[in-house]
């Protein structure tokens, strides 16, 4: 091709491009109210099973239609799971979704990984959502904070007090946003917030007792399996599934709750609300007792928490509790909030009464704080204290005796036996 032919062909191509420009979806350019790509929060999802997959694509309990992938202000860049079919399916669904919504080739591709460290190592990812089995939560959260990622982590926050302390320290040290998956502070029509506001406003007089439908004692690390060993499937990274847990033969059990025995997972919802109502988000119990096979708590304020339901009160089982004061009681769960006398919850909250933090949804609150660097409603401080309450009850349950606890120093004064249960041996190299 001569120079004259090259210039003629180039001029023709340019003219054609001007006359017939490429059609680019408005969402890619940030038009029509859409969020342009450089303003979207980029995310990686670690664990994409039932819980993580629900967050990613939407589900009845996630309260977000279409999940994170369906949001205009989020770009999912990575999915991670130790099961190959699960992560590959998630990647395909994310990429198909973006191709359909934004147009083929206009969205950055979502990648799939077996090892979460590859997700944390990507500088183009702003935040991660952790929805793995419980024994991984704290280790991953600490490593994510050190990698400069903001974190939405499912409960339980940790499986030992030391782990929970490590999460809090890492989030503070690295200045990260952390939201625990204790969404009852944000969702369910504000029922839990209202109950806590009424209790803290003195509507039932002086708070004396709190009854929880869930036992307050959570124990981590299960007994070794007695099931016969099986060949490890080729599409499962069993060593990475175990992570910091003891090395045990593959027996076919990959349950998400294998390493959070007792009430550690579901119970943190209940005790998070108990802490909120008791005004104990920055502290904890001073005594943990064990009676009738269940754990209970006593706070410095004199409030006593029992790990059982209030007699003949059905409300409180679905994530809530029953609060008993000198002048009445309030019971709340995900379905309803009731009181005795009935008028307590019917009278609107007065301007001069306690008004607790509100938001437009738990996920919305997290993403807003990623943008503004504010504190989420279930931040690391709150999560640490609610998780600690459950874990302290687990220690009392294991020792089957009353324990004294210093919530400021976070130690058992003069109790070496109980102190040994504050941490647990982890398998190398996961000793963070």
Q: Does domain 188-354+380-432 have CATH number 3.30.360?
A: yes
Q: What is the pLDDT of residue 21?
A: 38
DSSP-based three-state secondary structure for 253: coil
Strand pairing class (287-291; 294-298): antiparallel
Cα–Cα dist 211/215, whole Å: 10
pLDDT the model gives residue 265? 79
Fold annotation for 26-184? Rossmann fold (3.40.50)
What is the pLDDT at residue 432? 67
Domains of the chain, by residue range, sit at 26-184, 188-354+380-432
pLDDT for the residue 108: 74
Q: What is the pTM of this model?
A: 0.90
Q: So what's the pLDDT on residue 59? A: 80
Q: What is the 8-class DSSP label of residue 406?
A: B
The string over 125-142, giving b where at least 16 C-beta atoms fall within 10 Å of a residue's C-beta and e elsewhere, is bbbbbbbbbbbbbbbbbb
Q: What is the predicted pLDDT for the residue at 62? A: 73
Give the E-state strand segments of 145-217 in sequence order.
150-153, 178-180, 207-211
Rounded to 10 deg, the angle between the 380-399 and 161-174 helix axes is 170
Could you give the 3-state DSSP secondary structure of residue 364?
helix
The whole-number mean pLDDT for each consecutive block of 10 residues of the chain, a chain of 432 residues, reads 46 40 42 63 97 91 84 97 98 94 71 98 98 95 98 95 97 98 96 98 98 84 77 97 92 82 82 97 96 93 96 94 98 97 96 97 97 98 96 93 97 97 92 72
The C-alpha torsion from 257 through 384 and 335 to 343, rounded to 10°, is: 160
Per-residue confidence (pLDDT) for residue 266, from 0 to 100: 87
Concatenated DSSP letters for 288-332? EEEETTEEEEE-TTS-EEESSPPTT--TTTTT-EEEEETTEEEEE
Helix/strand/coil (H/E/C) assignment for every residue in 33-46:
CCCCHHHCEEEEEE
Which among 63, 343, 313, 70 has a CA at the least distance from the CA of 188? 63
């Amino acid at each position: 091709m001569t120079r004259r032919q090259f210039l003629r062909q180039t001029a023709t191509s340019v003219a054609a491009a001007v006359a017939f420009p490429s059609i680019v979806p408005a969402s890619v350019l940030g038009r029509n109210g859409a969020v342009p790509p450089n303003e979207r929060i980029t995310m990686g999802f670690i664990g994409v099973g039932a819980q993580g997959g629900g967050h990613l694509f939407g589900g009845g309990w996630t309260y977000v239609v279409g999940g994170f992938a369906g949001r205009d202000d989020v770009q999912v860049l990575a999915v991670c799971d130790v099961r190959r079919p699960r992560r590959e399916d998630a990647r395909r669904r994310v990429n198909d979704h973006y191709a359909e919504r934004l147009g083929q080739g206009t969205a950055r591709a979502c990648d799939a990984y077996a090892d979460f460290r590859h997700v944390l190592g990507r500088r183009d990812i702003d935040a991660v959502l952790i929805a793995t089995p419980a024994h991984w939560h704290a280790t991953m959260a600490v490593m994510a904070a050190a990698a400069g990622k903001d974190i939405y982590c499912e409960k339980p926050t940790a499986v030992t007090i030391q782990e929970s302390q490590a999460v809090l320290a890492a989030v503070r040290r690295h200045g990260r946003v952390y939201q625990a998956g204790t969404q009852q502070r944000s969702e369910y029509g504000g029922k839990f917030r209202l109950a806590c506001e009424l209790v803290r406003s003195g509507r039932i007089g002086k708070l004396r007792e709190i009854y929880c439908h869930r036992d307050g004692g959570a124990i981590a690390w299960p007994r070794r399996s007695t099931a016969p060993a099986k060949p490890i499937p080729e599409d499962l990274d069993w060593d990475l599934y175990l992570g910091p847990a003891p090395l045990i033969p593959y027996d076919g059990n990959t349950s998400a709750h294998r390493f959070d025995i007792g009430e550690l997972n579901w119970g943190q919802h209940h005790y998070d609300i108990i802490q909120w109502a008791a005004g104990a988000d920055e502290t904890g119990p001073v005594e943990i007792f064990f009676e009738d096979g269940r754990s209970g708590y006593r706070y410095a304020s004199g409030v006593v928490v029992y790990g059982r339901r209030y007699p003949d009160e059905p409300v409180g089982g679905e994530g809530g509790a029953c609060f008993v004061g000198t002048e009445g009681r309030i019971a709340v769960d995900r379905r309803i909030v009731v009181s005795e006398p009935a008028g307590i919850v019917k009278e609107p909250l007065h301007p001069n009464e306690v008004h607790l933090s509100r938001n437009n949804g738990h996920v919305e609150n997290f993403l807003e704080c990623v943008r503004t660097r504010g504190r989420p409603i279930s931040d690391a401080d709150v999560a640490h204290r609610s998780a600690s309450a459950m874990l302290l009850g687990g220690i009392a349950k294991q020792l089957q005796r009353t324990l004294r606890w210093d919530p400021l120093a976070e130690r058992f004064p003069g109790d070496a036996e109980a102190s040994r249960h504050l941490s647990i041996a982890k398998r190398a190299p996961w000793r963070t």
